[in-house]
Amino acid sequence: MATRSQTMQVEGLKELRAMLKGIAPKETNNAMRAATFAMAKEFVLPALQRRVKEDTGDLKKTLLAVRRRGQPGVHVSEVRGGRGAPYMLMLEFGTSRTRAQPFIVPTTEELRPKQAEIYREQFFEKLRKALEREARRKARTA
């Protein structure tokens, strides 16, 4: 039976945070938060492209990545949808009268092997930009 929730988790973030804590703790934390959000955004477009052919556009307007407040040091982002398209779960899992037309679960499974690579690219790009901003800020004040 299909579940109503799909989760991806990146291993090794605690070790990475500990390693970078002495270098740039604020920038590292912000880069991790931004990379987590960017990873969720990477999910939205492939999920929408996999959607059924007779899409009215309501689902496109409502499926989006959002940041969620987690425990300190734990960055959480979700992909949500539904306000304008309450039928999203009915499409994904089917009903007693209609067959399932999944687009969320297959996209999650397709991205699962790539998640570490996506996160790594996003994290180092965000960290590089944050360190460049900090260096420019320090140069201006010096």
User: Which pairs from 85-88 meet CB under 8 Å and 24+ separation?
Assistant: 85/58, 85/59, 85/61, 88/59, 88/62, 88/63
Residue 30 near residue 126, CB atoms below 8 Å: yes
Among 92, 84, 93, CA closest to 64: 84
Domain ranges of the chain: 13-141
pTM > 0.85: yes or no: no
Local confidence band at 3 (pLDDT 50, 70, 90 cut-offs): very low
Residue 134 near residue 83, CB atoms below 8 Å: no
Residue 20 neighbours by CB distance under 10 Å? 17
Alpha carbons 12 and 138: distance in angstroms, whole number? 31
> Who's near 131: CB < 8 A, 6+ residues apart?
24, 27
Quote the distance between the C-alpha of residue 3 and its chain's center. Answer: 19
Residue 21 near residue 127, CB atoms below 8 Å: no
User: What are 57-99's pLDDT values in tens digits?
Assistant: 677 777 788 888 777 777 888 877 766 677 788 888 889 998 9
Of 13-17, 28-32, 77-81, 104-108, the one with minimum mean pLDDT is 13-17
